Chains A and B, each alone.
Chain A
């Protein structure tokens, strides 16, 4: 692709996530692409960043990919192993988490995330993982970054169930519910979105190389704000791709 660097869309998403992180920040992550994004940022521009897993893991350096946060592979070489009360309590609830990553079954036009159920909550539905620490991170982190596959059934005008609050109904409704912070970016495999500062509705920020605006909109369940000037997402560098493939995710478990 551009500059001759070949990459997968998952790698592009991880790199876009890493770009949102700043040195010195405290970042709460779940497993999957967010872990790749956080480790990549830490090995490049943000060496003094602190990575937290909700169950009580600080700054691990795994040498093998894990099947989830419950896999001791992802706790390896941690600087501290403690508890929910410590991570989600004294760090997150205290207001010290700068960035939290979220994924989900569905996200709506205001960044509300559903990880609980699909279907009709009052009728027939299929129940999934629920919150874990996701609601807490969405409620209490200074900002959140949502990573999702770009499909119309996942990116919807409204979600079946708000597990993790974004900007709720938009405008001041999140603030009125007593919540600060809120989602900053939604990163998909076709585009990156931000949020309008007033209406809090999702707004396109950039489109990935090789994707068209029509393709982005055709695979959305809602109409986002589209600025007149729409840049192309910066592609990964050769060094970023090398780090992901050789050191961070050599088995392609999250980015394959």
Chain B
């Protein structure tokens, strides 16, 4: 049985694992997952995502992750990824910085089982020069066997686990993602297994009615967790809007280590689980205000 509690899914991840995270800035971030990983005292993770997001920032801030492979990122107009940037600046985070496309190509190569993948961007930039230092073994220059031209190639990424935050899934983990999917499809296919966190758990018969909407195949999924508002304070398209007030609170807290500690005490350590978190931030009344308009999707 794949359907389980969030705590069980998080407990399946060993210390030191490489976890691909689903968020993009402030949308479809695995926030409840991140809070539970912090509560359980998970340590030594490598995290990866095409564009750094609030889920990755919280895990880095709490010391769960000390290595990130990513393509840059922010909290959109709410500000910088406070924890990731602070720990890059003080040298305590091992950061391997790419671009969005080079990250997704690395996942794509992993998903296809390729030995390497050529790419035309990154060349001439300081991103590549910096990667010579931070991850010298993950890119190389080879001759194109057909033209003889110099070709930059990247090593595939094969995360131990991909966490994916979706709107709809069944008990096998067959999942629908509404809206743009950024890197999530490639991450799940590149990873050795996936944990699906879904707003709604539906019968497989419903999935079978619109199988073309299935973007995550259940046979790649090890755990399915049904959790409403699991991305709060980030948004989930067609489910709920982002919570501007709570993201602002986080962005402010994440500016300093002390601020982040106080944030963790209140929103993570001070609360037993996701249900207590939802009650703490204002419960049904607040969540109802965030519910998405069915036409607009936000």
Contacts and interface: CB of A to CB of B under 8 A. Distances in A.
A93 interface: yes
Contacts of B179: 72, 75, 81
A139 B102 CA distance: 12
B161 interface: no
A70 B99 contact: no
B18 interface: no
28 contacts: A55-B24, A56-B181, A68-B26, A69-B76, A70-B76, A71-B235, A71-B298, A72-B237, A81-B179, A81-B180, A81-B181, A83-B182, A83-B183, A89-B108, A116-B97, A127-B80, A128-B74, A129-B74, A129-B80, A130-B72, A130-B97, A132-B72, A136-B99, A139-B123, A140-B120, A140-B121, A165-B124, A168-B124
A85 interface: yes
A75 B89 contact: no
B237 A88 contact: no
Nearest to A135: B99
Contacts of B17: none
Contact of B121 (A56, A84, A135): A135
Contacts of B180: 53, 55-57, 75, 81-83
Q: Which of the four size classes fits the interface of chain A?
A: 35 or more
B50 interface: yes
A66 B149 CA distance: 43
Given A121-B130, A168-B124, 13 more contacts: A63-B296, A68-B76, A83-B186, A84-B50, A84-B182, A88-B100, A89-B105, A135-B102, A140-B121, A177-B123, A178-B124, A178-B149, A178-B150
B72 A165 contact: no
Interface in A187-243: none
A132 B186 CA distance: 17
A98 B283 CA distance: 48
Contacts of B101: 84, 88-89, 92-93, 133, 135-136
A68 B74 contact: yes
Contacts of A127: 80, 85, 88-89
A132 B120 contact: no
A56 B80 contact: no
Given A135-B127, A136-B100, A136-B101, A55 B80 contact: no
A73 interface: yes
Contact of A130 (B73, B78, B235): B73
Contacts of A55: 24, 51, 180, 182
Interface string A105-136: 00000000001100001001111111111111
A46 interface: no
Nearest to B237: A72
A12 B123 CA distance: 34
